[in-house]
Amino acid sequence: MGTRIESAATSFRRGRLFGRGALHLTDAAARACLERAHHRADELDLLINAGIYKDRNTAEPALASIIQEDIGANLGGPVHMGHHGTFSFDVLNGACGVITAAQLIDGFVGHGSARLGMVVAADADPSPRTSRQFPFSPAGGAVLLAHIDGDGGFQRFELRTFPEHATLFETRLRWDPEAGFAHRGRNVLEVYEAPAFASCCVERAAEVVGATLATAGLTADDIDLVLASQYPRGFGTQVARRLGIPTDRVPEVRAELVAAHTAGPIAALEASIRSRRFAVARHSLFVTAGAGITIGVALYRN
Amino acid sequence: MTPWMLAEAGHAADAPFVARFESLGKSLPERRVTTRELMAGTRHHTKIDLERLTGIREHRMCGPGETSLSLAIGAARDCLGRSHYTGADLDMVISTSITHYVDGTTHRFEPPLSLSIKQAIGAPAATSFDLSNACAGMLTGVFLLNDMIRRGVIRRGMVVSGEQITGLGTNAAHNIRSILSLQLASLTLGDAGAAVIVERAPEGTPGIVLAGFTTLAEHSRLCLGMPAGHRPGARMFTRARKIHQVAMSEGPPLIEDILAQAGARLGEVDWLIPHQTSVRAIRSGERVLAEQLGEGPKHTVVTVDEYGNTASTTLFLALHRYLTEGRIHPGEKVLLLSVASGLEIGVVLFVMDELETTHGHPH
């Protein structure tokens, strides 16, 4: 028994249209993802949102419940409906949220407590006028995960943190009494990234991937695809180089998705599905890196 | 028959192990503020008797230097102080607070708070992440740990939350004019931290008998919390009456359905610990459950009168309180019930065991 990837989809802002925030991006990706796999929203047992930067920085409820409502997944309780419900919540684990969410869904779907789950993720600058150095492109993604009786699908998850590097990347919402109209004060989103952040992510990711492959009895040669975070830019290619994996095994994502945050690994997955490389890859390696420094790794087998 | 909720029973063919609660911890700010004092601070003169409406007498409120993070760390340390384990024994740490304040009203998005918490309690190797599920956060964390422990992926983990949430009330006090204000519920909140360790239960121990969750998403926008526009901190808009109505109409059949999965009935539950929003809401829920299911739990736990609504920590703060007071005994069945924005409904049914004897007696 296991969990296989049924489909993936991404979304991004088309043209220069503003006002299309994280919720719109997530809803669009979620709908496209379900449509591609010919599944209905009410078949979902579990929906986890892993996006961090939400419209108006909404903290309550979990954005996943709003997405669930927007896509029409089992809206009411058994008083009004028929078969089963959908459970949704948010995971907040920076750039590694999609891997964490996939691991949680694998727990329920892989062992048969649930049949179908979806991870969604999107980030957009919550308030461009009062954010400083927001580095991520507005992008969303969704990946649909289904139960299989065979032994393929996700094989192993690894999540490691390196708190000695915790100060290399930090984002905060802070009250600035001088900001805003007439300097009346605003809550300002501030992003701090140290110059060493990107190289440190690559170094630590290579370390964690190396250990994970060794535990799984695999070598770099066995990896057919590297599906990586899109931020820091060039992260996937550099990790592949460090591990001795040919860089043509790192799919290129479309220009709008370069520097996507939590949806980064989904963008890479979608690109590999489109190019039909995912279907023929024996072993795919998901690798993500973000603040913490946190490294997420997942091994997937077709 | 498949239950409406996503659910997992304790003993099942697909999982070799059972999970149970091993330890609980709490951390409460020293500062106490009465509901009367809070209402006296509203900018507009109102005739609202919030204490009579909610039954909440008092709230704890963070003082200087106390934050979501410090409350979470305090609760985690208190939890470990009553546990057989040290931080290094934990395989997983999940932080589940709605608020993420690390310094005054400075909210941290990244890195997650769980990273700082596990560092503070000496659990550097534990897998860690934050989750957000409104006031159902801690029970969601328990639901996830239960799944991983049952399958043998981990042996034990901690769910922790620190809620520095009374700032919502401070901001609401500037706007409230009448009982119809959508910000009125912000004045029922209290600050608190809570932590719980969930472990693999010894063979033959009943532990967590059932865990289930669902989201009634057609009501997802009934309570919205976000940073304030022109003030530090956050604000929250709640359609409290509507949430209560939905919970009263949808909750009882869901609870009956999920309990049936474990071959249990509400009448067999010794202690119902519901999310603590107000004494009146809890009593009304108790009545509706009894009417609709034909029987009620033997006892219902109420602590909101003294702590206020402490968001994601209420269930474990209440459990901690009743255990410390020696009111819950080994062998008794306890039903934890979350009702939260989303609209989330979650249940965990467990049988009290050693937790009762170790609790309140730090090593």
pLDDT tens for A240-295 read: 999 999 999 999 999 999 999 999 999 999 999 999 999 999 999 999 999 999 99
pLDDT tens for A209-248 read: 999 999 999 999 999 999 999 999 999 999 999 999 999 9
d(C-alpha B147, C-alpha B203), whole Å: 17
Fold of domain B6-358: Peroxisomal Thiolase; Chain A, domain 1 (3.40.47)
Angle, alpha carbons B123-B125-B129 (nearest 5°)? 80
A64–B230: do the CB atoms touch at under 8 Å? Answer: no
d(C-alpha B291, C-alpha B295), whole Å: 7
Sheet of strand B299-300: strand arrangement: B6-9, B208-215, B344-351, B333-340, B271-274, B299-300
pLDDT tens for A117-170 read: 999 999 999 887 788 889 999 999 999 999 999 889 999 999 999 999 999 999
d(C-alpha A148, C-alpha A40), whole Å: 18
Q: What is the DSSP letter of B96?
A: -
Q: Which two tokens stand for residue B170?
A: 């401070």
Q: Which two tokens stand for residue B95?
A: 């932080």
Q: A-chain residues within 8 Å CB-CB of B230?
A: 180, 184-186
- ipTM of model over 0.90: yes
Alpha helices in A217-262 (DSSP H): 235-243
Q: What pLDDT shows up at residue B360? A: 52
Alpha helices in B9-49 (DSSP H): 35-40
Of A80 and A120, more confident = A120
Nearest C-alpha in A relative to B149: A107
A107–B15: do the CB atoms touch at under 8 Å? Answer: no
Nearest CA among A134, A20, A86, A122 for reference residue B3: A86
d(C-alpha B200, C-alpha B152), whole Å: 8
Q: A-chain residues within 8 Å CB-CB of B343?
A: 61, 65
d(C-alpha B319, C-alpha B65), whole Å: 27
Min Cα–Cα distance to chain A from B299, Å: 26
d(C-alpha B118, C-alpha B97), whole Å: 15
B220–A68: do the CB atoms touch at under 8 Å? Answer: yes
d(C-alpha B268, C-alpha B335), whole Å: 10
Nearest CA among B146, B142, B165 for reference residue B154: B146
| Tens-level pLDDT at each residue, chain B (363 residues) | 678 899 988 777 778 999 999 999 999 999 999 999 988 888 887 888 889 999 999 999 999 999 999 999 999 999 999 999 999 999 999 999 999 999 999 999 999 999 999 999 999 999 999 999 999 999 999 999 999 999 999 999 999 999 999 998 888 888 888 888 888 888 899 999 999 999 999 998 999 999 999 999 999 999 999 998 888 999 999 998 899 999 999 999 999 989 988 889 999 999 999 999 999 999 999 999 999 999 999 999 999 999 999 999 999 999 999 999 999 999 999 999 999 999 999 999 999 987 866 775 444
Those of residues 259-288 in A touching chain B at CB distance below 8 A are: none
Q: Predicted confidence band at A16 (pLDDT cuts at 50, 70, 90)?
A: low
Judge whether B122 is closer than 8 Å to chain A, CB to CB. Answer: no
Radius of gyration of chain A (CA): 19
What own/partner pairs with CB < 8 Å and gap ≥ 24 does A270-279 have?
A270/A8, A270/A9, A270/A10, A270/A141, A272/A225, A272/A227, A273/A7, A273/A8, A275/A251, A277/A224, A277/A225, A277/A251, A278/A5, A278/A225, A278/A302
d(C-alpha B253, C-alpha A187), whole Å: 43
Q: What is the DSSP letter of A60?
A: B
> CB burial class (10 A; 0-12, 13-18, 19+) of residue A173?
buried
d(C-alpha B177, C-alpha A109), whole Å: 49
Domain ranges, ordered by start, for chain B: 6-358
Q: A-chain residues within 8 Å CB-CB of B5?
A: 85, 87
Q: What pLDDT shows up at residue A79? A: 62
| DSSP character string of B44-106 | S-----HHHHH---EEE---TT--HHHHHHHHHHHHHHTSS--GGG-SEEEE--S--EEETTE
Q: What is the DSSP letter of A42?
A: G
Q: Which two tokens stand for residue A98?
A: 């999609």
Are B38 and B186 a contacting pair, CB within 8 Å? no
Min Cα–Cα distance to chain A from B126, Å: 8
Q: B-chain residues within 8 Å CB-CB of A166?
A: 111, 115-116, 119
Average of per-residue pLDDT values in chain A:
94
Alpha helices in B134-239 (DSSP H): 137-151, 167-172
Q: Name the β-bridge partners of A40.
A: none
- State the average pLDDT over residues A28-43: 97
Q: B-chain residues within 8 Å CB-CB of A59?
A: 98-100, 132, 225-227, 234
Closest to B133 (Cβ–Cβ): which among A62, A69, A170?
Answer: A62
> CB burial class (10 A; 0-12, 13-18, 19+) of residue A83?
exposed
Q: Hey, what amino acid is at A48?
A: I
d(C-alpha A98, C-alpha A227), whole Å: 12
| DSSP character string of B339-359 | EETTTEEEEEEEE--THHHHT
Closest to A62 (Cβ–Cβ): which among B221, B254, B342?
Answer: B342
Which domains are assigned to chain A?
Answer: 2-151 (3.40.47.10), 157-161+195-301 (3.40.47.10)
Q: How many helices (H) and strands (E) would you count in chain A?
A: 7, 12
**C-alpha B199 chain-centroid distance:** 19
Residue B291 burial (CB count, 10 A): 12
d(C-alpha A104, C-alpha A3), whole Å: 11
Q: Name the β-bridge partners of B223.
A: B238
Judge whether B152 is closer than 8 Å to chain A, CB to CB. Answer: no
Are B273 and B302 a contacting pair, CB within 8 Å? no
Residues in chain A: 302
Q: Which two tokens stand for residue B140?
A: 């969601």
Angle, alpha carbons A272-A276-A277 (nearest 5°)? 60
Judge whether B221 is closer than 8 Å to chain A, CB to CB. Answer: yes
Q: What is the DSSP letter of B189?
A: B
Judge whether A57 is closer than 8 Å to chain B, CB to CB. Answer: yes
